[in-house]
Amino acid sequence: MTTADNSIFVGNKPFMNYVTAVVMQFTTKNAESVIVKARGKFISKAVDVAEVASKRFLDNIVESDVKIDSEEFKNEEGKEIRVSSIEITLSKKK
C-alpha cells in the first residue's frame, strides 16, 4: 500500500498532464513507486500513460504490477451497471 500521494488518477485532462505527473513523482519527488489508476473508458488512456512514461521518458522503471477489478452499482434509473477499473504500479528497478 502506498500513500495517496503516489497515485495518479487518469481522467479527461490532456494526456501529457498525466505522463508529466508520473515522471515528476519519480524525478522531483524521488518516489519508489507510482500507481496509475483509471476507471471505465479511461482505462486505455491509463495504459498509454504508464507505457509512455516508463518506456519513453524514464529509465529503470518497470510495470511491477497490473490489477483489474470492477464494481457493480445502480445508476439513477435503478439499472445495475458494472464499471471496470485498473491499477498499474510502476516501480524503480532494483
In the complex, the smallest distance separating the C-beta of residue 54 from its own copies, rounded to whole angstroms, is 9
Site residues (CB under 8 A) for its own copies? 40-44, 47-48, 50-52, 55-56, 63, 66-70, 82, 84, 86, 88
From 1, 3, 10, select the one nearest 86 (Cα to Cα): 10
In the complex, the smallest distance separating the C-beta of residue 25 from its own copies, rounded to whole angstroms, is 19
**86 near 43, Cβ under 8 Å?**
yes
In the complex, the smallest distance separating the C-beta of residue 68 from its own copies, rounded to whole angstroms, is 5
From 65, 73, 58, 62, select the one nearest 25 (Cα to Cα): 58
